[in-house]
Structure 1
Amino acid sequence: MNRLNIIKPSAKADAEHEIDDFVSNWKLLATQSKELRYYVYTTKTYNRLMNTYGEVCTDLEKPTLRSMRDVESAANMFYYTED
């Protein structure tokens, strides 16, 4: 969060909210009877926290890209030095 506050302070609150939701969802899924997995491809045996981007997700799953090749080409990347 400190790094984000330097790079783009206006995004800090949204990022904190997303991270808090991610952790809360994981805790909720962990209390259910199905065993929890970080990511499992097409299964009804487990609860999963992430699913492939573009697939149908439950309310608690996060659609997630699986490769840096999938990241939008317009995404910006910044490199800062301490100088």
Structure 2
Amino acid sequence: MFTKIIAWLKSQFTKGKSEMTEVVQAVETAVEAIVPAVEQVVAPAPAVVDAFEDAAAKIKAVYDKLGIDVHAWDQVKALAKAL
């Protein structure tokens, strides 16, 4: 009786292990397909940030030249970056 239970438990473990292996392989395949697309989207991000910093510096320089004090300039810049 106990040998049948042990055999059944072993079969359940083997079945579960093979199912989990299939799930892991499916996830790995999905990740392999997604990663290149994400890398393409993220690649230009540093250039966009640099362009934003340049534009913000030029805008700030104009305000400074006109004598306009933007009290919350750092907060405005941080908000624009976040958006």
TM bracket (short chain)? 0.3 to 0.5
TM-score computed with the length of structure 2 as normaliser? 0.35
State the structure with bigger RCO (CA 8 A, min sep 6), 1 or 2.
2
TM normalised by structure 1 equals 0.35
Name the one with the larger strand percent: 1
